[in-house]
Structures are given as C-alpha cells and as structure tokens.
Chains A and B, each alone.
Chain A
Amino acid sequence: MLEGAVIILRWLQFVGAAGLFGLSLFQLYSPASSEAVGRRGTLVLTASGLIVLASLGGLVSQTAVMAGGLAAALDPTALSMVAFQMGLGQAHLARAALGLAAFSLILAGVRGRLLWWGLAGLGLGVCATFAWSGHAGATEGTLGLPHRLSDAAHVVAAGAWVGALIAFLTLVGRGAGTDRQTLYRALAEFAGVGTLAVIVLTVTGLFNALVLVGPAAAPMALGTAYGGLLAIKLVAFAGMLGLAAANRFQLTPALGRAEDEAATQAAVNRLRRSLMLETALGLIVLGLVAALGTLAPPAALI
C-alpha cells in the first residue's frame, strides 16, 4: 500500500511539473499566448500547488517505505535525515520549495511575460530535481553525473510536450472560442518545439536505458517487471508519436484549408479527439514512469 502511495504521489508530481513548466513555456513560444489566458492560468496555479503537496507527501511516503511504515516515517529524526541528508529527500524539498515559489509568484500579481519567464524557470528547476529522486540519483561512479543530466533533460522534454498538450486542450475545448487563425498557427508552429522534444526524449531515453538495462541484462529484461513496464512505455510513446504526426501532417493542414464554419468545426473536433487521446497516452506514460521508479532496473539484477 505504501508503494502504491509512492507511485501515485510520484505521478502527481510529474503531472504538476508538466503543468507548471510545459504550460509556462507554451505561453512564451506559442502564438496562442495572445488568446485569453484564463484556463491556462488556473491550471498553472493548480499545478504549482499540486507540486508542493505531492512533493511533501512523496517525501513522507518514500521515508515510510525505507523505514518500514508510516509511523516510523513520521518520526522527526527519520524524516529530517531523509529530507536533509539524502539526495532523494533534498530533491523532494527543492521541488516543494520551487512549487511554492511559483504559487507565490502568481498570487503576488506578477503578470505578462515576466510571470511566464519566472514560472518557466521554476518549472525547469522542478523537472530537473527528478533526476535526483529517481534511479539516476543512485547511479554511482563516472556514469552518475551523465545519467542525472540525461534524466533531467528527459523530464524537461517530457514536461514541455505534455504541458503543451494540456495547453492545446484548453484551446480546442468546446466553448473555448479560440480564434481559428491563431489556433492554426499555434498548432503549425508547435512542430519545431515538438520535434526538439521528441529528439531529446529519444536520445536521453536511449542513454538512460543503456545505464538502467544495459547490454548485459537486455536478454532477460523483458522477463522483469521493470522491463515489461518499459516496453509498454515505449509502445505508448510510439502511439503519441503517431498521433502527433497525424496532427501535424493531416489534421492541422485540414484546419488551415477549411473554407467554411462547418469544415472548421469538423477539423477542430477531429483535433480535439486526437489531442485528448495523445494527452491520455502522455498521462499513462507518466504513470508508468512513476511505477518504474519503484522497481529494480535490470542492470541491478545481474
């Protein structure tokens, strides 16, 4: 049960990070930032709060797993040891602090590009901290720092992509009233960011797999819980790629070509369904990664 709580809290931290970083970054690069920020603003505030609560909860739950129970974890000595003396704990504290800073920045009334630059920076920090609370945080020797940097880049790219998906959903939602031309430009111009994210995810993903699975353990990897979930993650990732490609090469051009209101509505409806499916897959990938963090990587089993 404690392991389940760890996984759920990890997932919530990932979702919060994607919301804070990805949505803020979206406001900086997307032509759609000219649209009323309403929903995206609420989501960013929620994401910041979620990061604070889930990080603190995650700290307690991770301590509980190591200490053998929740009662043992609530002992101030145990909790402060983990929080201040272990990289795992420090990462959770840093995450909570960054989330709190983001929350405060919004409530303080900062607005405009200054706000989004600040939030994107804080969100970037939140994404990077995951490298110290996952398996990369435990990689020792010369591979340690490269693995952590690769992991940080991996989370940043994932956050940018999932956050952008959430942003697009706010634009194509029923009743969003997004200007058609702006929506088209936002979708079309996302191709650059999207491509960069996919390249970073692929390169860093391969490197991380090399360290955590490795050539020696690869033959038996699929027989492990870790290997099985990783395989599902890759399938889901491939699904997201397919949907993104369909958006870019079919659905978005169709929106651009639509000549009347009916055609426009049809195109937007198709985009909405595709984006929802892609977002659902993204959330599933985050769930799989949350679980993978609690399992033994094949490289550690041989």
Chain B
Amino acid sequence: MINRRLALASVVALSVAGLAAPASAHARLVSSTPARDAQVASPASMRLTFSERMVPAFSTFEVADSQGRAVPVQVTVSEDGLSMTGTPGRRLAAGLHTVTWRIASSDGHRMTGTYTFTVR
C-alpha cells in the first residue's frame, strides 16, 4: 500500500519534472564582429561576446558560406571566458555567411544560436 502510493507520487513528480524539460538559453550574445546583418569586407578575425562566462572546452562557433560549405575557423576562448575569437583559415568569398555558435555555462547549461552577415 505504501509502496504503491509512493510509486504514484514518484510518477507525478517525474511527470512534472519531465514537462519542464526544454533547455534554457540564458547566456546572451551581447555583441559580435562582424555584427549580425552587417556588410563587411572579409574579416581577418571574428569575435563573439556573451553575457555569461562560458566553459572553453564546450564552446565554439562555425562559419558556413552562402553554399553551406564550412569555412575553417580557429577558435579560442578569452581569459575571462566571456568571448571567443576566431581566425578564418581563408579569405571569405563574397556573399551571405552564417555563424552558428554553441556554448556551455558553468552550471551545466548549453546554449546555441545563429546569425548571418554579408561579405562585400
């Protein structure tokens, strides 16, 4: 009798917990160079700055050109953990480029985001 009732309580508790499963997104991209929607010459380096410290091992970003092909980028995270800098391995061709970033925070959250900019 006790076991069945407690089992029911456990199911309820887990259901409540399960309903709330979607991930959060509380570190915001504060600024970037090139900025979102900017029109720039091919950048020698790119920088993304966030509102919260990120865990370097799980944080990076990727760049894809207008054809969806990946542009090789060497990414490093700053000392203070608030920004990451990337050096493209080659000149970016003219056209729309998509940046996709993913970071992890020290309390275990994972956040992703994307934006585009255009190379003249």
Partner of B108, one of A65, A173, A301: A65
**Chain B count of residues within 8 A CB distance of the other chain:** 35
Which are the 7 A-B pairs with shortest beta-carbon distances?
Answer: A296-B26, A287-B13, A280-B9, A296-B24, A66-B104, A138-B107, A291-B20
B23 touches A3 (CB 8 A): yes
B67 located at the interface, meaning its Cβ lies under 8 Å from any Cβ of chain A in the complex: no
Asked whether A276 and B2 contact (CB < 8 A) given A66-B108, A67-B58, A88-B106, the answer is yes
CA distance A67 to B23 in the complex (A): 14
Asked whether A7 and B107 contact (CB < 8 A) given A66-B55, A286-B13, A296-B24, the answer is no
B10 located at the interface, meaning its Cβ lies under 8 Å from any Cβ of chain A in the complex: yes
CA distance A78 to B58 in the complex (A): 9
In the complex, how many angstroms separate the beta carbon of B80 from the nearest chain A beta carbon? 11
A300 located at the interface, meaning its Cβ lies under 8 Å from any Cβ of chain B in the complex: yes
A279 touches B17 (CB 8 A): no
In the complex, how many angstroms separate the beta carbon of A293 from the nearest chain B beta carbon? 8
CA distance A300 to B14 in the complex (A): 26
What is the interface of chain B, defined by CB distance below 8 A to chain A?
A: 1-2, 5-6, 8-10, 12-14, 16-18, 20-27, 51-53, 55, 57-58, 102, 104-110
Partner of A138, one of B14, B22, B105: B105
Inside 8 A of B26's CB, which chain A residues have their CB? 296-297, 300-301
Asked whether A287 and B17 contact (CB < 8 A) given A67-B58, A280-B9, A296-B26, the answer is yes
Majority DSSP secondary structure for residues of A touching B: helix
Partner of A174, one of B1, B21, B108, B110: B1
B110 touches A65 (CB 8 A): yes
B106 touches A291 (CB 8 A): no
Inside 8 A of B110's CB, which chain A residues have their CB? 65-66, 68
Inside 8 A of A7's CB, which chain B residues have their CB? 17-18, 20-21
